[in-house]
């Protein structure tokens, strides 16, 4: 659905609430009237509390969510050096006089060029490691690894896995039996997971959602986490800036 003005939108909400895409309405208004992007707003993905859209000629991602904790965490790292976490340009709480728009937040972030799920080899390796370490619920590798530099990790990860146990599952191929290139990719994957977890700890971000579908690769090929949702309730003390306009004053473009 598209609307010529807010009144048309409000009428459709009253008549067909289950068919009205509030997130798309917010995304189009924010992208066109606040960020001044002329390109099409394209739906990208959706989750329990939010949806993402491609904006700025598909160069950036705009997320609309009702998860305040996610917005708080995004605001905490916005503009900061946060290795392994997606870069945020802006985070806002929607300003509105109408209930349908209240408690919505938008965040503008980098678009990652490739997702982990699009790399069959590393996707499988990550999932098998996740079964062992439970990254999705805050699980971690041995604590000694988090004290090492990346150079030390590159040397010690193969030794650690061969001596302790097979990280790829009891019935999987041992690390030493992968090709040298595959071993290199596995070691880099572990380094990047540790990098992400260390950065999250630095910024006080607790989230159980470190799962394959929330990971991608940045322009340099490093694993990057991009979904700050599902953290502990009340986490963080930062405030979220209000959008500088009341959203219903604007209308979407056809």
Domains of the chain: 6-111+236-249 (3.30.200.20), 116-225 (no CATH)
What gap in Å lies between CA 205 and CA 211, rounded to an integer? Answer: 15
Residues 96, 86 contacting (CB under 8 angstroms): no
159 CB-side CA count, 13 A: 7
Smallest CA-to-CA distance from 63 within 95, 96, 94 is with 94
pTM of the full structure: 0.84
Helices then strands, each counted (H, E), the chain: 6, 9
Q: Record the tokens describing residue 196, joined without a space.
A: 């992400």
Residue 67 and residue 36 in contact, taking contact as beta carbons nearer than 8 Å:
no
Helix (H, G, I), strand (E, B) or coil at 97: coil
The tens-digit pLDDT sequence of the chain (254 residues) is 555 666 666 676 666 555 557 888 889 889 988 899 999 999 999 887 889 999 999 999 999 999 988 999 999 999 999 999 999 999 998 887 777 777 889 999 999 999 999 999 999 999 988 888 888 888 888 888 999 999 999 999 888 877 655 555 554 667 778 899 999 999 999 999 999 999 999 998 887 688 999 999 999 999 999 988 765 544 455 567 776 555 555 544 33
d(CA 233, CA 229): 10
d(CA 215, CA 112): 9
Look up residue 37 and give its two tokens. Answer: 């992007």
Q: Do residues 39 and 51 touch, judged by C-beta distance below 8 A? A: no
């Amino acid at each position: 659905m598209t609307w010529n003005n807010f009144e048309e939108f409000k009428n459709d909400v009253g008549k067909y609430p289950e068919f009205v895409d509030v997130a798309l309405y917010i995304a189009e208004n924010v992208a066109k009237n606040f960020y001044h992007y002329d390109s099409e707003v394209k739906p990208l993905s959706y989750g329990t509390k939010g949806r993402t859209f491609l904006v700025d000629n598909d160069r950036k991602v705009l997320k609309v969510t009702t998860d305040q904790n996610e917005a708080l965490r995004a605001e905490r790292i916005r503009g900061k050096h946060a290795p392994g976490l997606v870069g945020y340009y802006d985070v806002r709480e929607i300003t509105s006089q109408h209930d349908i728009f209240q408690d919505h937040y938008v965040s503008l972030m980098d678009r990652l060029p490739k997702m982990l799920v699009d790399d069959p080899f590393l996707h499988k390796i990550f999932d098998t490691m996740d079964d062992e370490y439970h990254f999705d619920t805050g699980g971690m590798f041995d604590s000694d690894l988090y004290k090492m530099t990346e150079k030390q990790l590159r040397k010690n990860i193969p030794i650690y896995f061969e001596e302790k146990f097979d990280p790829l599952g009891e019935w999987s191929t041992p690390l030493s039996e992968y090709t040298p290139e595959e071993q290199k990719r596995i070691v880099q994957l572990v380094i990047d997971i540790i990098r992400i977890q260390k950065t999250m700890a630095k910024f006080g971000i607790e989230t159980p959602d470190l799962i394959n579908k929330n990971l991608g690769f940045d322009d340099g090929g490093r694993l990057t986490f991009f979904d700050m949702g599902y953290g502990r309730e009340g986490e963080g003390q930062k405030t979220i800036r209000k959008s500088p306009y009341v959203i219903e004053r604007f209308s979407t473009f056809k």
